[in-house]
Amino acid sequence: MSADPIPRQEIPQQDPILRVDHVTLRFGGLVANADICLEVRRGEILGLIGPNGAGKSTLFNLISGAYRPTSGRILFEGRDITDLPAPERCRAGIARTFQVPRSFDSMNVVENVIVGGFVRHRRAAEARTAALATLDAVGLAHRAEAVAGELTPPEKRRLEVARALATEPRLLLLDEVLTGLTPSEAKAGVELIRRVAERGVTVIMVEHVMEVVMPLVDRAVVLHLGRVLAEGPPTEVVRNDAVITAYLGERHRAA
């Protein structure tokens, strides 16, 4: 494994782990994210919510390095990573899942996670040991030798989380990992996210299942038309008139 691409420095614990500083992304005449300012505290679970097309996954792509902003800066642990390629951001400590799970379907489950483990481990045996431990943590140890293409949708989402965790991130971006699950599957997913946060990993999650995500997150940020519409404690955000009008709907106001 190559050396850390970003020189390490002591960052005070009270400083945010991530700062998105006036970030804008344009695709031609389309503004996908507009002047986004966001700070993410160490150890928190941050919910990123909003209607379809609000710019949530685009922001994830900017943070993870899939896109580079038209303007603005992104700082991770006090370091400017705006121009850092995605693989180096992963080595620096940022990992993500995708809205549509992306597994190597012809490989078995543990091999999928070993791919993530190679970010931290040079030897295959070390990466395999770490991968098996991660599968145990996410409840997939019993499927380690199964072909990834044979997993159920909830198992594939857990596999995505396992592969991301195998990179040993300090910041984990979860893109709709609870969407489409049964109530019992969603409950298990919530428990998994809480365990991840308890390990000291900061989590930003995009989610549409409001009744599940709101009791889970420490703070919520609402995006609308590519801009930050509101942010704060979940109980305050869901009572915000602008959020109700733009996202939750009048039925929520009545409730």
pLDDT tens-place values along the chain, 255 residues long: 334 443 344 445 568 999 999 999 999 999 999 999 999 999 999 999 999 899 999 999 999 999 999 999 999 999 999 999 999 999 999 999 998 888 999 999 999 999 999 999 999 999 999 999 999 999 999 999 999 999 998 899 999 999 999 999 999 999 999 888 888 888 888 999 999 999 899 999 998 877 888 899 999 999 999 999 999 999 999 889 899 888 877 666 555
Instruction: Enumerate the domain spans of the chain.
Output: 15-87+209-255
- Architecture of domain 15-87+209-255 in CATH? 3-Layer(aba) Sandwich (3.40)
Give one DSSP letter per residue of the chain, joined into a string.
-PPPSS------TTS-SEEEEEEEEEETTEEEEEEEEEEE-TT-EEEEE-STTSSHHHHHHHHHTSS--SEEEEEETTEE-TT--HHHHHHHTEEE--SS----TTSBHHHHHHHHHTTT-SSHHHHHHHHHHHHHHTT-GGGTTSBGGGS-HHHHHHHHHHHHHTT--SEEEEESSSTT--HHHHHHHHHHHHHHHHTT-EEEEE---HHHHTTT-SEEEEEETTEEEEEE-HHHHTT-HHHIIIII-HHHHH-
> pTM to 2 decimals?
0.89
